[in-house]
Structure 1
């Protein structure tokens, strides 16, 4: 995904990242610091088999409280979005990506990454991931990194990694 050999520096399971608005953190399956060449990346990894990405923005943001409005403003600001995303976008993809951006700032890394590590042979929920990337102006291709520079100047890498389904049989 990084184009050069990568070295895992640190991996933390079930890593929580505080988000503005509300009182629930974004709990990432894995947070990792990764070195590749002379660069360092703060990455959140969302593991999936057959479960969906949770509610859509339309469901999560219907009749929003003040806390949800604050959180949505914060997420949109981090992601460089000028308005609330379309209702079909999965909210979980937004806050997992925001987590990577927040932690990249915290650890002063060269970039942030959010990776979906899917073990679904049918690539269940890939279309949701593709819609999220399209919102950011990217085309999703499995097992290929997409890189963009956000309005903030922060570099963001997004990817869908296909896991070996043999590991599900163990």
Structure 2
């Protein structure tokens, strides 16, 4: 895991951090669109700021941030990890960028004939989220580990709260229904452009949100 970071000089710096820089860096796709949006904002993009309320402030943002899930498996690579200040509270935020891309395999697909490592990981993720293991099979695995990565970083950075935000640039809000199913699993009701929240076992608050990005960035 990287411990030393340097400032970016523009969206092009984000490309080198991708798992497949050539394949993933395409106009109209999430990696490039997200990079141009966040670099243009010089702070929080307005739709992200709107979720956290008036006066919310970006303290730091780290593209393609890897978070250990406390096992020997692959780290959770967050599109943007941010520390945000809002109403005198500091929030560890994992941002998942989307255009038309799905959230990857469902639990049903990912957990077929699971190895001991997968069993250990899913049990850990479910325990962190306070849900039954195994969870409902139609929910996407990515939403589990991305949300827990925010919770783990909240603990590591000693922030007040944690948040997982889907930053979507899809005009049709594609895959919102998949996000809503995950939110429902946590006993909440998803809404466009609004945070929903629950109290975690450690006393922190977990926020979940869907932010709709400006379509202009799809052409950059």
The aligned residue for residue 35 of structure 1 is 85
- Cα deviation for residue 121 of structure 1 reads 0.2
| More off after superposition, 114-123 vs 73-82 | 73-82
Asked if residue 122 in structure 1 is aligned to residue 172 in structure 2, the reply is yes
- Cα deviation for residue 22 of structure 1 reads 4.1
Correspondences of 1:102-141 after superposition (within 5 Å) = 102-141=152-191
The aligned residue for residue 97 of structure 1 is 147
- Alpha-carbon separation, structure 2, partners of 1:67 and 1:111: 29
- Cα deviation for residue 3 of structure 1 reads 2.5
Correspondences of 1:34-113 after superposition (within 5 Å) = 34-113=84-163
Secondary structure at the residue paired with 1:24?
coil
5+ unaligned residues in a row in structure 2: which ranges? 1-50
CA offsets per residue over residues 64-94 of structure 1, 9 Å max, x none? 1000011011101111113221110000000
Greater C-alpha Rg: 2
The aligned residue for residue 20 of structure 1 is 70
The aligned residue for residue 154 of structure 1 is 204
The structure with the largest helix share of the pair is: 2
- Alpha-carbon separation, structure 2, partners of 1:152 and 1:25: 23
- Alpha-carbon separation, structure 1, partners of 2:192 and 2:88: 26
Q: CA RMSD in A?
A: 1.0
Of 160, 166, 169, which aligns to 2:216?
166
Number of aligned residue pairs: 170
TM-score when scaled to structure 2? 0.75
Runs of 4+ aligned structure 1 residues displaced above 6 Å come to none
The 8 Å contact of residues 122 and 133 in structure 2, kept in 1 or not, is answered as no
Secondary structure at the residue paired with 2:52?
coil
TM-score when scaled to structure 1? 0.97
- Alpha-carbon separation, structure 2, partners of 1:11 and 1:156: 19
